[in-house]
């Protein structure tokens, strides 16, 4: 994506994150978002270039971690409620909703995507909305995320929150501190 935008990786990531929460919130369109980045890079935001950069971005955000999907099913089978709480731009969410490989999302008790609610992590209201939809008090919820800022946001909302960047680091706490079933994680490789 950096190369397509004519930027160094460092420059690209700075611009990528500058307005990302507004894209995820749904207050900035995909074309506006990429147009801002491309104009800052000195490029003309032509529709075909925006489409190519967006395709690369979508490819990264829509990979399915099958071990985590299996783990969610294992948790539900053990009687736990599961939710997806995700910062997600409308275009990527539309892409996911149109494809059968994402049908597993219907199995979650709650799927809360930022663009549907005009809320984003790490803002408190998105966590409060998710747990209310689950019908749970803050202290009854365990929130896992790969972003330290989002984990801190969950804690600020009163949730038990844990950084989840990979199975190796998470397994001991999930098994010992939370006593959660983790057979699916042991059998797969989740990140």
Tens-digit pLDDT profile for residues 42-84:
999 999 999 999 999 998 888 998 999 999 999 999 999 999 9
161 φ, ψ (degrees, to nearest 5): -135, 145
Instruction: Check: CB of residue 119 under 8 Å from CB of residue 126.
Output: yes
User: Whose CA is closest to 23, among 37, 11, 10?
Assistant: 37
Instruction: Supply the pTM of this predicted model.
Output: 0.91
Who contacts 117 (Cβ-Cβ below 8 Å, separation ≥6)? Answer: 126, 129
Q: Burial letters for 58-91: b for 16+ Cβ neighbours within 10 Å, e otherwise?
A: beeeeeeeebbbbbbebbeeeeebbbebbbbbbb
What pLDDT does residue 96 have?
A: 94
**Above 80 in pLDDT, residue 23?**
yes
Residue-range domains of the chain with CATH = 2-61 (no CATH), 66-187 (3.40.50.1000)
Instruction: Check: CB of residue 67 under 8 Å from CB of residue 187.
Output: yes
Tens-digit pLDDT profile for residues 111-134:
999 999 999 999 999 999 999 999
């Amino acid at each position: 994506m950096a190369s397509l935008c004519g930027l160094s990786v460092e420059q690209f990531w700075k611009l990528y994150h500058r307005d990302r929460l507004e894209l995820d919130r749904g207050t900035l369109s995909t074309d506006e978002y990429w147009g801002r980045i491309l104009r800052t890079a000195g490029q003309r935001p032509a529709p075909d270039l925006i489409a190519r950069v967006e395709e690369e971005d979508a490819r990264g955000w829509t990979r399915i971690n099958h071990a985590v999907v299996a783990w969610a099913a294992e948790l539900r089978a053990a009687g736990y409620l599961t939710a997806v709480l995700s910062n997600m731009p409308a275009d990527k969410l539309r892409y996911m909703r149109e494809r059968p490989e994402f049908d597993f999302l219907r199995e979650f008790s709650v799927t809360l995507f930022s663009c549907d609610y005009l809320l984003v992590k790490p803002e408190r209201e998105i966590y409060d909305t998710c747990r209310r939809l689950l019908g749970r008090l803050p202290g009854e919820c365990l929130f896992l995320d790969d972003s330290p800022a989002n984990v801190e946001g969950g804690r600020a909302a009163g949730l038990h929150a844990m950084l989840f960047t990979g199975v190796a680091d998470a397994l001991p706490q999930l098994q010992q501190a939370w006593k959660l079933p983790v057979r699916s994680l042991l059998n797969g490789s989740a990140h």
